[in-house]
Amino acid sequence: MDDNVVKFPGVEEIPESVFGHSIEVSDVLSGLQDREFDDVVILGTYNQKDNLYFASTSGDPAKILWDLERAKHVLMNLFMSTESPLDE
């Protein structure tokens, strides 16, 4: 394996020390009430993660994809900035 390649955790459990702890759905939703959103994209799983739910206030697929890619970029940067890579 190359020295500059970091194993991505994929669907495996990520230790809490990497990203923190899980948050209840109700806590996430209640934290949205005081914000003034222009658009919202909702992505979630239900029924023990077997089913996917997706909704967006935007009707523009390009904007939705852009927002999802921006979120993915932030998530990857958070993962890459951890002090202890998961492949140790």
Express each pLDDT in 5-58 by its tens digit: 656 555 555 555 555 667 788 888 888 888 899 999 999 998 887 899 999 999
pLDDT for 57 equals: 94
**Cβ-based neighbours of 39, under 8 Å, separated by 6 or more:** 56, 57, 58, 63, 67
The overall pTM is greater than 0.75: no
- Compute CA 9 distance to the chain's CA centroid, rounded to the nearest angstrom: 13
pLDDT at 54 (0 to 100):
93
| Residue-wise DSSP of the chain | --TT-----TTSPPPHHHH-----HHHHHHTTTT---S--EEEEEETTTTEEEEEES---HHHHHHHHHHHHHHHHHHHHT-SS-TT-
The pLDDT of residue 5:
61
- pLDDT at residue 1 in the model: 47
pLDDT at 61: 95
Looking at residue 76, its pLDDT comes to: 84
Q: What are the sequence ranges of the domains in the chain? A: 19-80
For residue 36, what are its two tokens?
């003034």
What integer pLDDT is reported at residue 34 of this predicted model?
85
